[in-house]
Amino acid sequence: MHPDTMAVHVGEEPALAPSSLVPPIYQTSVFTFKDLYTAADVTGGTGAGYSYTRIGQPNADMFAAAVAALEGAPAAAVAASGMAAILAALVAAREGRPVAAADEIYGGSVALLDGFLGPLGVTCLRFDAHDPASLPKDAGAVLVESASNPLGRLSDLEALADAAHRAGARLIVDNTFPTPYLCRPHEHGADIVVHSVTKFLAGHGDVTLGVLTGDEEMVRRSQAALTTFGATPDPFACWLAQRGLRTFGVRMERAVANARGVARFLGEHESVLRVHHASVPGHKDQELARRFLSGEGPAILAFDLEDEAAAARFIERLRLIRYAPSLGDVSTIVLHPATTSHRQLARSEQERLGILPGTIRLSLGIERLEDLTAELGHALA
């Protein structure tokens, strides 16, 4: 099936109510048993069924099956958030060895590595994802983003996978920006793919959830970490995410087209210094976009205004587009990375990575393009 069709149908068969058109919500913290031996088998992992929602529940399994199918992976595990999914993936993959992370990653991932894992004794190294040869040779887990936050820079996933595997490491790819609509990193050598489901997969700004996909062993180890940490998801959140996934294809089609149109509009505006999107003529990642993103740029773009004061004026003049510290919603959302998503970085480090005081990140929704360009034109005037 086409991925758009899979998003509607895969995983929709409820485990306990097969005649229901819409999967029910199993809003329970625990499941009951009729006898001692069945309970022993299920809780011991040798029998099918559910015992305690922190350990597993039908709504999580249904959503996991859908995302695994979309990513072309054997298995998936659902986490309470995207950050929980990243943490579980790192625990499962590194096997006591250092973690290597790309320079250009989400600020929350930087905080996880440097602020928490580092003090716990985990060696955290950084490297340039655009130069696979810079990958540390002693890493056990390698974390990169298929399109970086916030500038949407692309990397050669196949070269990174090859470098990681030659070092005996596993490649973890955060695929939140492109989503499987544009990119399926397992097809290019990734061992684990993670998502903040909160964003495009759920798509409606009402869920906090994460997911990771991989082979059976990696997912089993990740699931064990999630269960032990207590970072497993709520049934209702899983149900909402699966409902959102049903419109995934049509939402992404419109959002990606809007990003392309808005990038063109911004590139022609006199107040905009630079547009960061792979669809922009002459963008340095156009060839990588053809190889890894179906020839498109993601539904996220960034652009540079003169300075922070100009960015603040632009944001204050917005009427339709909302300012919010997230992305991937049906509505278009704007963000100032230097003071929000990447505030953990020193200003010098932000600027080294291309995040300037006047940089704005724009997550495109499903509105009509002409309304978005009119809104942006008003705010930039």
> C-alpha angle with apex 190: 68 to 249, nearest 5 degrees?
40
- Give the pLDDT of the chain (381 residues) as one tens digit per residue: 888 888 888 776 655 556 778 888 999 999 999 999 999 999 888 888 999 999 999 999 999 999 999 999 999 999 999 999 999 999 999 999 999 999 999 989 999 999 999 999 999 999 999 999 999 999 999 999 999 999 999 999 999 999 999 999 999 999 999 999 999 999 999 999 999 999 999 999 999 999 999 999 999 999 999 999 999 999 999 999 999 999 999 999 999 999 999 999 999 999 999 999 999 999 999 999 999 998 899 999 999 999 999 999 999 999 999 999 999 999 999 999 999 988 888 889 889 889 999 999 999 999 999 999 999 999 999
Catalytic positions are: 54, 106, 174, 199
Query: Which tokens go with 2?
Result: 């086409």
- Are 314 and 180 in contact by the 8 Å Cβ rule? The answer is no
Domains of the chain are 3-245 (3.40.640.10), 248-380 (3.90.1150.10)
For residue 148, the 8-state DSSP code is -
| 84, 90, 95, 99: CA torsion to nearest 10 | -140
Burial 32-50 (b: 16+ CB within 10 A, else e): eeeeeeebeebeeeeeeeb
Beta partners for residue 174, in sequence order: 145, 194
Q: What gap in Å lies between CA 349 and CA 361, rounded to an integer?
A: 18
Residue carrying the six token digits 């963008």: 283
- The angle at the Cα of 117, spanning 116 to 123, to the nearest 5 degrees, equals 140
How far out from the chain centre does Cα 62 lie?
19
Rounded CA-CA distance 280/277 in Å is 6
Of the candidates 15, 27, 70, the one whose C-alpha atom is nearest the C-alpha of residue 211 is 70
Answer whether 356's CB lies under 8 Å from 310's CB: no
Note whether 265 and 376 are within 8 A (CB).
yes
Q: Please state, in angstroms and rounded to a whole number, the distance separating the CA atoms of residues 269 and 360.
A: 15
What does the alpha-carbon distance between residue 258 and residue 252 come to, in Å, rounded to a whole number? 10
Do you know the residue count of the chain? 381
